[in-house]
Amino acid sequence: MRLSKMKVELADTVQYTLISGEEKILMNDLIGKPIKLTFEGVTQCSACNDIKKLFAQGFCYDCFMNAPQSSPCIINPELCEGHLGKGRDVQWEKDHHVKPHFVYLAVASGLKVGVTRDTQIPTRWIDQGATFAIRVAETPYRKLAGDIEVALKSHFTDKTNWRRMLKNEIGDFDLEEEKWQIEEMLPADLAEYMTEDDEIIEINYPVLKFPEKVKSIGFEKMPVIEGTLNGIKGQYLLLDGDRVLNIRKHSGYHVELEY
């Protein structure tokens, strides 16, 4: 099978599905059981689908440099020019970035600010391993959401401490209070996009045991990875021996999964 980001569904406990073509594996059913992943030596670009060496984020070098899915505004939304009719692929920008976006606060370990398209909630929060999240602002296109995020970066980080997240070391924050302090931090032209929605979303992950010391593993150094699946959080498989495997990082890798 060709690995890609696991499909997620918010329920009492997050439901994970590994999909490759017509094959669908309900990963929650494998928790507490032994699994074995064998890298078959083939990598396939997530954009052009060619069998190539991957450069970064599941893309070959050409696609990383040219595909709209890996444009700089994916990481830095304030750089987006889709609303101006510009971008690596104007239609792709129109379909994905000239759409409503949310600025949010999330707690995966510490408190962070982030941006995502409206249709990616709660998927984005789950992929980051967030335990709590709240919508802060809604904008008509990506660039404006990025401007709000930039304005808040001196007060909040935009990064997740993934090691603390995987150990389930969660900070204690009052998200509603934190949200309304933001209104005073923003200039008036950005504060007008603040939402009235104060709902705090709580996310529970299917984990039997969290690692005490996180040991990241991957197929480049270890073509065969096996052990008991202790749980899943974010896009990580938590294996025995405090080992964690980032499935999203290995997008495009062809593997055999045995269970």
pLDDT tens digits, 185-228: 999 999 999 999 999 999 999 999 999 999 999 999 999 999 99
pLDDT tens digits, 236-252: 999 999 999 999 999 99
pLDDT tens digits, 130-160: 999 999 999 999 999 999 999 999 899 988 9
Mean pLDDT of 29-38: 98
Q: pTM to 2 decimals?
A: 0.95
* Alpha carbon distance 85, 94 (integer Å): 8
Buried b (16+ CB within 10 A) or exposed e, 210-248: bbeebeebebeeeeebebbbbbbbbbbbbbeebbbbbbe
* Alpha carbon distance 1, 258 (integer Å): 11
Signed CA dihedral, 143, 247, 229, 13: sign only: positive
Share of the chain above pLDDT 90, in %: 96
Task: Tell me whether strands 23-26 and 15-20 are parallel, antiparallel or unpaired.
Answer: antiparallel
Q: How confident is the model at residue 253 (pLDDT cuts 50, 70, 90)?
A: very high
Share of the chain above pLDDT 70, in %: 100
